[in-house]
């Protein structure tokens, strides 16, 4: 099995006056695992349905390898697909479900038997060939759906929130299994999810969509460490936001007035993808909770009152209310021994210069 490149070229799709996808362009490498991530209504499922051939784009083109498949029927695109509800035939056994795509393509019986056995081995379902879907757990049904999508060795596998019906523990197990399978086969995967942790765990790259537009595409680390917009910063991982006004803009620093909460002084070129800042401009600062450091002793830093301390095994998260009313989260590694700040304590915090992202508020 081998993966093919996929090129989405200026794709657009509207339903009446409502645009679902707006002139979107992405190039996906052979064997890459790309997740389409975004909230409900962002256009990710519409985009996947256009690649599958179940929706016709209004504009643009879809290429798989060197083939323009924009007008090609779904069953001739060399694409496998796994849906959230699996879409298994309830009256067919596991083996019959997996064999279905091969029978539709007219494969000989001997080839079908061999391919079904290999596909079930890939997803570790040997011995369950004669069971009906109703006799399987949710995780087993999902594996059958994956085997059925892979059995005819497609160049591209599309997955539309395939783990949404599973409980958290099983979902995490299946994330690892699907990624292992994808890497071992070298198949190209386009994966739709609204779960940011799932996308971060499984993807080589993530395309973040919002209202039909592509906000940013990049590796999980790129999106987490260098979000291009305030929306991406907010949608990927946990983020603190502080609104202020750029009061001073010098050759080597800028000063952001946070009102009653205080002032933050930063290098002139903080971590950001925003256009150059201007004095007097309203801005939004974004900082990851784990990049902030508690500081009991340095009264020059911004401070607040601890409203809650949350223990999460490997970490503590402190919810701190600033003088202006904002609540920020500071995450620290859990330590054994020593006293922790408690609810009601006044505490300062330090923000490393390279941890701050600055966005014009017009973007937010």
pLDDT of 265: 83
pLDDT along the chain (364 residues), means of 10: 90 93 96 96 95 96 96 92 84 94 89 92 90 90 90 92 82 87 92 92 96 96 93 93 85 82 76 66 92 73 88 89 92 78 88 86 64
pLDDT of 278: 77
pLDDT of 273: 47
The CATH number of the domain covering residues in 239-363: 2.40.50.140
Sheet holding 67-68, edge to edge: 18-28, 6-15, 59-64, 67-68
For the chain, the domains span 6-234, 239-363
pLDDT of 24: 95
pLDDT of 299: 53
Burial label, 13 (beta-carbon count in 10 A; 0-12, 13-18, 19+)? buried
Architecture of domain 6-234: 3-Layer(aba) Sandwich (3.40)
Residue 350, Ramachandran bin (φ over 0: left; ψ between -120 and 50: alpha; else beta) = beta
């Amino acid at each position: 099995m081998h993966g093919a490149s996929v090129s989405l070229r200026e794709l657009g799709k509207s339903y009446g006056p409502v645009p679902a996808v707006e002139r979107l362009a992405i190039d996906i490498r052979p064997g890459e695992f790309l997740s389409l991530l975004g909230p409900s209504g962002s256009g990710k499922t519409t985009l996947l349905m256009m690649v599958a051939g179940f929706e016709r784009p209004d504009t643009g083109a879809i290429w798989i390898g060197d083939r323009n498949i924009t007008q090609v029927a779904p069953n001739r695109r060399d694409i496998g697909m796994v849906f959230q509800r699996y879409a298994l035939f309830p009256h067919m056994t596991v083996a019959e479900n997996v064999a279905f795509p091969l029978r539709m393509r007219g494969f000989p019986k001997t080839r079908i038997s061999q391919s079904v056995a290999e596909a079930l081995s890939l997803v570790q379902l040997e011995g369950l060939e004669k069971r009906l879907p109703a006799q399987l757990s949710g995780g087993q049904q999902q594996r059958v759906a994956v085997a059925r999508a892979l059995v005819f060795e497609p160049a591209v596998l599309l997955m539309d929130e395939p783990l949404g019906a599973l409980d958290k523990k099983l979902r995490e197990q299946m994330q690892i299994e699907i990624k292992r399978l994808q890497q071992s086969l070298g198949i190209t995967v386009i994966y739709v999810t609204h779960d940011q942790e799932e996308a971060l765990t499984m993807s080589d790259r993530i395309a973040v969509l919002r209202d039909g537009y592509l906000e940013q595409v990049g590796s999980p680390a790129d999106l987490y460490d260098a979000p291009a917009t305030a929306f991406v910063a907010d949608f990927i991982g946990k983020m603190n936001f502080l609104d202020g006004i750029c009061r001073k803009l010098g050759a080597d620093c800028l000063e952001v007035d946070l009102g009653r909460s205080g002032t933050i002084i930063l290098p002139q070129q903080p971590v950001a993808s925003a256009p150059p800042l201007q004095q007097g401009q309203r801005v939004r600062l974004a900082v990851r909770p784990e990049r902030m450091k508690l500081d009991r002793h340095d009264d020059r830093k911004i401070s607040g009152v601890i409203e809650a301390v949350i223990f999460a095994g490997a970490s503590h998260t402190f919810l701190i209310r600033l003088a202006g009313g904002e609540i920020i989260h500071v995450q620290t590694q859990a330590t054994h021994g020593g006293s922790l700040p408690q609810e009601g304590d006044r505490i300062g915090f330090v923000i490393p210069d390279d941890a701050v992202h600055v966005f014009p508020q017009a973007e937010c």
